[in-house]
Structure 1
């Protein structure tokens, strides 16, 4: 895609945004037997008591010995908001590049990008060896890495941050919210709502499109 094909980019969060009321990690932890422990740790992250490195290491330990090919099957049942396909299509039709900017495991971002057609994705990486997860984190990734990933995408696309938007719901979105021209708190925490340009609530991602249309209008 050349710079002449687009007028901006939209960075979508996954956990709590595309995955409603929970996270992809907690969903997957149910298969692994540590759902309650991880959910408590994620609550600690949301409250600022834990950092994402601590949460990732706790979660990764539960993956030890699991075969990589199982994940795609499990993710087939991941709960998602309605309207993702239509929202991604709308972005592309209106010159906005749809990107996943998330702290979800890289394997989750890859699956969702392949399924819905996102341009790129971010996230921490689980270590693997001989087709199985080792129980360790190969690459850590926090909310500031998420912001930096998004800004690197902006540069690579030949765009300016003010021509881009972020759609998210929580603490992990705040640095990115502060770095783009338009931020949308979607079914969000109080902190994200306070930091965002606009707040939207609903069970369909298409409800953010009237807000994102501001980027299209501003480019004309």
Structure 2
């Protein structure tokens, strides 16, 4: 359901934020059979040794020959933080458009948007032929593309970036953190904490609601747990 006359946008990261202590790619790589390779690549990205393009190509190669339907089945087992549904509902009731701003593969973003009610999502795309992944990247997407996607979403809604919030946890969130009015480091790395407006540590996403309420002016930000 589209919001009419929203007051802001709340952008949520996926890996490490909605998917705690791991990434959607690491989860899927366990089924695909290249988890150890992918985890090493993600560690290289976190340390600044590899860039997003290199990690994406390493991961994509492991998808070769797998069907789109198989991946959707594996996503049903994706570990997610509690409180997503309630937080998305609160955002909508408070005039904030909930959007996924992520570097997770587009099947992951689409799955989570459908499951929890996010209005839009972004991310890199894998090449598909006859319903199966080829092992190649169809579209690369890095942290600056993520920022640009978010800013474009705000413009489309007629909103300034100062009316937006971003919830994230790591290096890939820093360009977006620098552009929005409110940034929330949720169970985050030291670099994300240093860049954020506020830091929240909890195993329930609803804990970010008091911070997000700064954009809405609501005096009763709590929701039932």
Counterpart in the other structure of 1:150:
150
SS in 2 for 1:53: helix
Deviation track 1:170-198 (CA, whole Å, cap 9, x = no partner) reads 00000000000000000000000000000
Q: Deviations over 1:133-190 (max 9, x none)?
A: 0000000000000000000000001100001000000000000000000000000000
- The answer as to whether partners of 1:3 and 1:159 remain within 8 angstroms in 2 is no
- Please give the root-mean-square deviation of Cα atoms over the aligned residues, in Å: 0.9
Q: Match for residue 79 of structure 1? A: 79
> 1:23-34 alignment to 2 at 5 Å?
23-34=23-34
CA contact (8 A) 1:66 1:132 kept: yes
Alignment of 1:194 with 2:197, yes or no, is: no
Tell me the residue number matched to 1:44: 44
Q: For the residues of structure 2 that align with 1:2 and 1:193, how far apart are their CA atoms? A: 30
Specify the alignment match of 1:117 in structure 2.
117
For the Cα contact (< 8 Å) 2:11–2:100, is it kept in 1? yes
1:95 corresponds to which residue?
95
Q: Please give the TM-score of this superposition, normalised by the length of structure 1.
A: 0.97
Partner of 2:222: none
CA distance in 2: counterparts of 1:2 and 1:90, whole angstroms = 12
Instruction: Kindly indicate whether the alpha-carbon contact (under 8 Å) linking 1:161 and 1:179 is maintained by their aligned counterparts in 2.
Output: yes
Give the drift of 1:2. Answer: 6.2
1:100-143 Cα offsets, whole Å, 9 max, x none, are 00000000000000000001000000000011000000000000
Q: Which segments of 5 or more consecutive residues in structure 2 lack a partner in the other structure?
A: 219-225
TM-score w.r.t. the length of structure 2 is 0.95
Partner of 1:57: 57
Q: 1:183 matched to which residue of 2? A: 183
Q: Are the equivalent residues in 1 in contact too, given 2:3–2:92 (CA < 8 A)?
A: no
Give how far 1:85 is off.
0.1
